[in-house]
Chain A
Amino acid sequence: KQEVTQIPAALSVPEGENLVLNCSFTDSAIYNLQWFRQDPGKGLTSLLLIQSSQREQTSGRLNASLDKSSGRSTLYIAASQPGDSATYLCALGSNYQLIWGAGTKLIIKP
């Protein structure tokens, strides 16, 4: 059974810092991996999608990597801003569903 873990559960950093969020999984048989952002009480915003054949994807200040052999993905956020404050979730595409981590709650202090 696929299990997805996100560490840390919460993170608070000063504005301007570069930071890394981690996502680990137990089964490497995945189709893709997505990183999402969720603001309090809101729905999900897709940030990056990495297909299983890819190693990384970049969008603006965001870079996500995927290492299936070690069961890990990281989301790198460069030059963090207060507007980046949100919960970040990773989700693995496996068979017909997405399997989710519980998220990392990120607070960027001005």
Chain B
Amino acid sequence: ETGVTQSPTHLIKTRGQQVTLRCSSQSGHNTVSWYQQALGQGPQFIFQYYREEENGRGNFPPRFSGLQFPNYSSELNVNALELDDSALYLCASSDDGADYEQYFGPGTRLTVT
């Protein structure tokens, strides 16, 4: 059984640029959630995808967008990067909605300069 994987591990971008982060869900899981964790804080929910449809969204602006593919992998896209977007981005997969245990990937560390 393959766990949740994320790519890239680290990324450095310049303010105003766009970035795409990728996540492969654990085998058999159809739900992917994305979280942003700023330094010293708990993660904040960005959005969730269930069977390729957005299933819920946190308090993030529209420049944060996502996709889920038929194989249940997912992308997080952030446009017009701001310095405050620097954070650890975590992807989690689960089975049939968020009622079930979420399994986390190792995260992508994004630095915006």
Contact = CB atoms under 8 A, between A and B. Distances in A.
A79 interface: no
Nearest to B4: A43
A96 B56 contact: yes
Contact of B42 (A41, A95, A101): A101
A99 interface: yes
A102 B106 contact: no
A81 interface: no
Contact of A97 (B48, B90, B101, B109): B48
A47 B98 CA distance: 18
A61 interface: no
A91 B41 CA distance: 13
A43 B98 CA distance: 19
Interface residues of B, number: 27
Interface residues of A, number: 24
A96 B48 contact: yes
A100 B42 contact: yes
Given A31-B98, A96-B98, A46 B45 contact: no
9 contacts: A31-B98, A42-B106, A44-B107, A91-B42, A97-B33, A97-B48, A98-B33, A100-B43, A101-B42
Interface of B: 33, 35, 40-45, 48, 50, 55-56, 58, 88, 90, 92, 97-99, 101-107, 109
Given A44-B107, A98-B45, A98-B102, 15 more contacts: A4-B42, A32-B101, A34-B102, A43-B90, A45-B104, A46-B102, A46-B104, A89-B43, A93-B102, A96-B48, A96-B50, A96-B56, A98-B35, A98-B43, A103-B42
